[in-house]
Amino acid sequence: MKRHLALLFTLTLCLAARVPAADEGVDIQRFVTAYDEAFNAKSMDRLAVFYHPDVTIFEGGSVNHGWADYRDHHLGPEMAEFLAVTFAHSNVVVHLLGADKRTAYVTSEYSLKVHMKERDENAGGLETLILLKGDDGAWRIRHSHTSSRRRPAPTPKP
């Protein structure tokens, strides 16, 4: 009986070592949900807290270096054109890295629907985020890489 208990205990420890810490995984899931809410609110101030100052963004075949570059030359101008936006992540999978659990990567699918003055767009694709946990305990995006699915031609407004 003692041997069975020892084997069960060892098996439990091995499985626990391979499964991400539940609290960190839940925190990151909440992080992604809060990010979607900030994006849908079109709030650059709210979005800023999700990004590391030195973030790199790979999107649409281009790269942005740092939050200020991404905000001023990519995301900000795009958001200014959006009259309405619906952004969401799905199939979010969290992968915690390292013994200290202060680094993670997240894989997901995203969907983006925007209403603009001249047209509507409906896009989606895949995303990988690399997250770092700061000394303040907050997760921040250090790198983001998205790939989009081929989309149909935009629908012109009548």
pLDDT of residue 25: 86
pLDDT of residue 24: 82
Contact 127, 145 (CB under 8 A): yes
> In CATH, what class is 21-156?
alpha beta
Asked whether the CA dihedral 135, 127, 25, 28 is positive or negative, the reply is: positive
- 158 pLDDT above the threshold of 90: no
- Give the least confident one: 16-20, 36-40, 42-46, 64-68: 16-20
Q: Where are the domains of the chain?
A: 21-156
pLDDT of residue 3: 47
- 5 pLDDT above the threshold of 50: no
Residue range 89-107: mean pLDDT, rounded: 95
- 132 pLDDT above the threshold of 70: yes
- 84 pLDDT above the threshold of 70: yes
Task: Give residue 12's pLDDT band: very low, low, confident or very high (50, 70, 90).
Answer: very low
Residue range 68-83: mean pLDDT, rounded: 96
How far is it, in rounded angstroms, from Cα 90 to Cα 125? 10
- 19 pLDDT above the threshold of 80: no
Contact 104, 139 (CB under 8 A): yes
* 60-73 residue pLDDT tens: 899 999 999 999 99
Name which residue leads in pLDDT, 107 or 158: 107
Residue range 76-80: mean pLDDT, rounded: 95
